[in-house]
Amino acid sequence: YDHDKRIAAFGFGAMLPGQKAASHCFALNGDPANVEVDGVQGLLDAYANCITNLKLYGPTNFAEVIAHSRMLAKEQHRQHYHVLLILT
């Protein structure tokens, strides 16, 4: 959450439409090219839309989400704080 009030949001532990294997890191808004949503309400809306279009699947593996989040943080060329919040 920063000055533009956008949040990078990822889902994990689900079978996405058209896939036969579980995904452990996917864009919650369905757009892998732009994973950010508009604020907390955008996060809630993306989750509500997403949960109706996939099948939850376990076991849950956080490694991909952690690795992807780390990569996004490393891409910043300025010094920033990054917080990874995982809700299960």
| 77-84 long-range contacts, CB within 8 A, separation 24+ | 80/2
Residue range 1-32, pLDDT digits in tens: 578 889 999 999 999 988 888 999 999 999 99
Confidence (pLDDT) at 64:
93
pTM, whole model, 2 decimals?
0.84
Region 69-84 average pLDDT: 82
Give the HSE-up count for residue 42: Cα atoms under 13 Å, Cβ half-sphere: 17
Give yes or no for residue 43 having a pLDDT over 90.
Answer: yes
